[in-house]
A and B are shown apart, each in its own frame.
Chain A
């Protein structure tokens, strides 16, 4: 991964409390897994930044190396890698995702 890509990733995860590296955009996801995670965040009314890896080939490969995670989407909360689609889905269903947002003081839909 080149330094520019690394800096880009670091900037995004530092400057945005919730970052979703995804295929497509929150309004027009290009992959079912990216859409699924994007929708969960929308349902929880979390303000997040969607970063379209399809627009940047070095980011698309770089984020996999950065997170040591082979698939996209990937979600970061306050700079910490939370997981991909399967983990986020599981955490959404068992309430852990909400707990993270609560613990990190991130605005989200209350019960």
Chain B
């Protein structure tokens, strides 16, 4: 039940191609990450919608293989 940092980055990039993504492995256990995602696609969207876009790009892995990913979105 762990995911590689590169795998998370690749999935977000696939869903939001223009995104600038910074990911940190918070605990060094491959299971608790923090991501800052900057994309023009967030423009005009609520925070909930922005986070949903990131979750959607992770294709259901969030809450399953991926236990903890703190998300911060920026336009």
Contacts and interface: CB of A to CB of B under 8 A. Distances in A.
Interface in B44-75: 47-48, 51-52, 55, 60, 62-63, 68, 70-72
Contacts of B60: 70
A68 B70 contact: no
Interface stretch (A8-16, A81-89, A100-108): A81-89
Given A85-B70, A86-B72, A71 B47 contact: no
Interface residues of A, number: 15
Chain B interface size range: 10 to 19
A80 to B, nearest CB: 10
Contacts, number: 29
Contacts of A33: 68
User: Which of A33, A69, A70 is most buried by chain B, counting CB atoms within 10 A of its CB?
Assistant: A70
A90 interface: yes
Contacts of A91: 47
Given A64-B63, A70-B62, A70-B63, A87 B68 contact: no
Interface of A: 33, 64, 68-71, 81-87, 90-91
Interface of B: 47-48, 51-52, 55, 60, 62-63, 68, 70-72
- List 10 tightest A-B contacts by C-beta distance, closest first: A70-B63, A70-B62, A87-B47, A86-B71, A71-B63, A86-B70, A70-B55, A83-B48, A83-B47, A87-B51
